[in-house]
Structure 1
């Protein structure tokens, strides 16, 4: 996993229990819109889910990502 991908996932692992990372912090830290950020997180969860999380936690994170993508339309 690239360092950029790891940073994205680490950030979201901290925030998904609270509904995902705050829009302003996503933009300031990664320079991207919510939609672009959550598309990348979704792709990473499909290809390289965090090994530190249980399958149940990964499913919860996916749920947060889907909701945030829906909201970003």
Structure 2
């Protein structure tokens, strides 16, 4: 990921999101259990954190998954 410095909780969120990105994001129950937030909050936070990152392939992938999951919640 980019050289932007993130705090420990943000790094944990990003690591989790990166681990699950190829599967379309983590399961809602796992997100809730691990981070204490629903998937809407989680993916909104991922978008906010990655806005501060320099664009690269991994960041683009995380943002794509987050936008897709948020869109699916609205449909």
TM-score (norm 1): 0.84
Q: Does 1:31 align with 2:32?
A: no
| Structure 2 gap ranges (5+) | 1-5
* 2:57 paired with 1:56: yes
Structure 2 counterpart of 1:42, from 43, 47, 55:
47
Structure 1 portions without partners, runs of 5+: none
Determine the C-alpha separation between the residues in 1 that align with 2:48 and 2:18: 15
Aligned residues: 69
Task: Return the TM-score normalized by structure 2.
Answer: 0.82
Task: Return the alpha-carbon distance in structure 2 between the equivalents of residues 4 and 59 of structure 1.
Answer: 20
Q: How far, CA to CA, are the matches of 1:6 and 1:59 in structure 2?
A: 16
The alignment's C-alpha RMSD in Å is 1.5
In the TM superposition, structure 1's runs of 4+ consecutive aligned residues that sit over 4 Å from their partners are: none
